[in-house]
């Protein structure tokens, strides 16, 4: 097969996630090439460009968007800048892979959908987990009936961060645990059920100083069953997802921050007994989920396959998050 015509990407900002994970991942891809990075501080852009061997460094996001060589933008800005800068990128004719959560609200995200439809570019949300083999395998096993009928999903996602200087602790910037990490159990519950929840109920405890949510638990009512999760930015670091069916159970050990230097494992329990005699473990070959995500998006740009997490899906996810916040206010079930 001829060598792929790599998509030329530009990165908006020197965000930690880009520098540490997404850029190095995408640079391993067959379909993606990072050609430029921009920062509000040009010196930072230059230093990162040197370190990561990115050919061009820009002193402003605007300059990067004006570069005609760039075909696609990766947007890892703070949450309140996801929609505004993704719209600017679309209007400059660039495809956009935008970090999660897609925006601050459903209304915010819908303005991005309008921009996409107006400009004809491709836009997706950077839920890298959706391209990781452990999630594809889990979905395949469940669809094949391995655990009987899937009825219940339970998840945890937590870590500790009370740094006042972190973007996640600024309420107006879309801070808080539900937007930062609760979005993952919401996303993966929808992905694995392959359905949308009709209603949710949630409990939200806020940080007295930051006013961001620091402990959230929710129940999502799906046509085929129920999903529950707890997320927090002020708890022990932990992540796990469990899928319970009428006959068996699947557990994903490191569901979200899947490492790229060792295999990921899923445990499949045939329900033989409660002591685990029926548990088998499948190990996935080590892979980089950011590379896979970038290449899947680049392939979609080249006309091979779909955008992994399109805006319609991102808006559905945001609708669930919004309903959880509403429910915490009203103390009642809220329709999604
Ligand atoms: N998918 C994942 O695995 C994953 C993991 C972590 C984070 N994320 C998402 O990625 C995004 C960035 O997270 P992060 O932890 O990488 O953030 P971060 O390190 O704080 O980076 C955010 C960057 O945005 C730029 N920026 C522009 N305006 C800013 C402002 N007013 N205040 C602060 N920074 C501003 C800065 O870059 P310049 O100074 O260079 O302009 C800054 O470095 C978030 O949306 C987060 O949800 C995703």
Between CA 56 and CA 15 the distance in angstroms is 17
For ligand 1, what atom is nearest to the CA of residue 44?
40
Residue range 302-314: average pLDDT? 98
pLDDT in tens, 162-171: 999 999 999 9
Q: Is any ligand 1 atom within 6 A of the Cβ of residue 78?
A: yes
pLDDT at 1: 64
Q: What does the buried/exposed string (b/e) look like for 203-225 if buried means 16 or more CB atoms within 10 Å of the residue's CB?
A: ebeebeebebbbbbbbbbebeeb
Closest residue by Cα to atom 17, ligand 1, is 15
pLDDT at 4: 85
Q: Which ranges of 79-156 would DSSP assign to H, the alpha helix?
A: 82-91, 106-119, 133-143
Band (78; pLDDT cuts 50, 70, 90): very high
Compute the distance from residue 79 Cα to the ligand 1 centre, in Å.
Answer: 8
* Number of domains composing the chain: 2
pLDDT at 275: 95
pLDDT in tens, 220-243: 999 999 999 999 999 999 999 999
**pTM of the complete model:** 0.97
For ligand 1, what atom is nearest to the CA of residue 256?
3
Same domain, 173 and 54: no
Closest residue by Cα to atom 23, ligand 1, is 15
- Within-domain flag for 312: no
User: For the chain, what percent of residues have pLDDT higher than 70?
Assistant: 100
* CATH code of residue 80: 3.40.50.720
Same domain, 145 and 258: yes
User: For the chain, what percent of residues have pLDDT higher than 90?
Assistant: 99
Sheet holding 264-269, edge to edge: 279-284, 264-269, 249-252, 234-245, 150-160, 226-232, 213-221, 199-206, 334-335
- Within-domain flag for 2: no
* CATH code of residue 195: 3.30.360.10
Same domain, 122 and 155: no
Q: Is any ligand 1 atom within 6 A of the Cβ of residue 43?
A: no
Same domain, 184 and 278: yes
For ligand 1, what atom is nearest to the CA of residue 41?
39
Q: Would strands 32-38 and 7-12 be described as parallel, antiparallel, or unpaired?
A: parallel
Band (53; pLDDT cuts 50, 70, 90): very high
Residue 3 has pLDDT above 90, yes or no: no
Q: Which string of DSSP letters, residue by residue, matches 198-245? A: SEEEEEEEE-TTT-SEEEEEEEEE-SS-EEEEEEESEEEEEEEEEEEE
Domain that holds residue 256: 133-286+318-335
pLDDT in tens, 181-210: 999 999 999 999 999 999 999 999 999 999
Mean of the per-residue pLDDT values of the chain: 98
Compute the distance from residue 227 Cα to the ligand 1 centre, in Å.
Answer: 29
pLDDT in tens, 15-30: 999 999 999 999 999 9
Same domain, 112 and 145: no
pLDDT at 197: 98
Band (214; pLDDT cuts 50, 70, 90): very high
Closest residue by Cα to atom 43, ligand 1, is 15
């Amino acid at each position: 097969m001829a060598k792929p015509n790599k998509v030329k990407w530009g990165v908006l900002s020197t965000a930690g996630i880009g520098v540490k994970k997404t850029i190095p991942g995408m640079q391993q891809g067959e379909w993606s090439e990072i050609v430029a990075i921009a920062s509000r501080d040009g010196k930072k852009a230059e230093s990162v460009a040197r370190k990561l061997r990115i050919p061009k460094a820009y002193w402003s996001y605007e300059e990067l968007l004006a570069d005609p060589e760039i075909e696609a933008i990766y947007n890892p800005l703070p949450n309140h800048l996801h929609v505004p800068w993704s719209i600017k990128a679309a209007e400059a004719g660039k495809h956009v892979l935008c970090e999660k959560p897609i925006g601050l609200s459903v209304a915010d995200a819908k303005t991005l959908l309008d921009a996409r439809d107006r400009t004809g570019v491709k836009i997706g949300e950077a839920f890298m987990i959706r391209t990781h083999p452990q999630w594809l395998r889990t979905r395949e096993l469940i669809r094949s009936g391995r655990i009987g009928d899937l009825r219940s999903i339970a998840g945890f996602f937590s870590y500790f961060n009370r740094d006042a200087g972190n973007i996640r602790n600024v309420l107006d910037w879309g801070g808080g645990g539900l937007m930062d990490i609760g979005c993952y159990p919401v996303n993966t519950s929808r992905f694995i059920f392959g359905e949308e929840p009709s209603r949710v109920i949630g409990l939200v405890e806020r940080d007295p100083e930051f006013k961001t949510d620091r402990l959230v638990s929710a129940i999502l009512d799906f046509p085929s069953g129920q999903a529950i999760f707890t997320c927090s930015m002020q708890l022990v670091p932990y992540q796990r997802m469990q899928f319970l069916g009428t006959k068996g159970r699947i557990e994903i050990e490191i569901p979200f921050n899947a490492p790229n230097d060792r295999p990921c494992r899923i445990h499949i329990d045939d329900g033989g007994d409660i002591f685990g005699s029926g548990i088998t473990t499948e190990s996935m070959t080590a892979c980089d989920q950011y590379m896979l995500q970038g290449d899947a998006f680049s392939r979609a740009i080249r006309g091979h396959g779909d955008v992994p997490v399109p805006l319609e899906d991102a808006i559905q996810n945001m609708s669930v998050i919004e309903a959880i916040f509403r429910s915490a206010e009203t103390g009642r079930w809220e329709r999604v």
